[in-house]
Amino acid sequence: MPHAWIEYSTNLSEEAEIASFAECVHSAMLETGIFPLAGIRIRITPVADYIVADRHPDNGFVHLSLRIGEGRDIETRTKAADMIFERTSAHLKSLADRSRMAFAFEMQEIKGPHSYKMNNLRDYIQS
């Protein structure tokens, strides 16, 4: 962990900020200092069927959902979430300045004993 899901409306697909957004998210996750490189996963999903606000065809959205394993105190989670939101919203600012766009970010902690993993990436990654 952490795993990130990025969804965005397809009317933003050609924008440079969208093309580089996953790299921004990856860098921000590492910059927190609390997430292991071998645990990072980022999924990117363009959404073709959507309705945003008043249905204007130029309205777009980006949504970032981050799920993390449990065990970090609230202060650590809050600091990480604040930093990730700061980096990602700054990355999207120029797009928001020229487009009709909404950006949302949420971080969720996965609780408990029912989070199973099989991961040998640490055997291959030099950090």
Catalytic residues: 2
E strand segments, 1-127: 3-9, 41-47, 59-69, 100-110
| CB of 17 closer than 8 Å to CB of 62 | no
Which two structure tokens, joined as six digits, stand for 35? 């997430």
| CB of 88 closer than 8 Å to CB of 28 | yes
> Reduced to 3 states, what is the DSSP secondary structure of residue 2?
coil
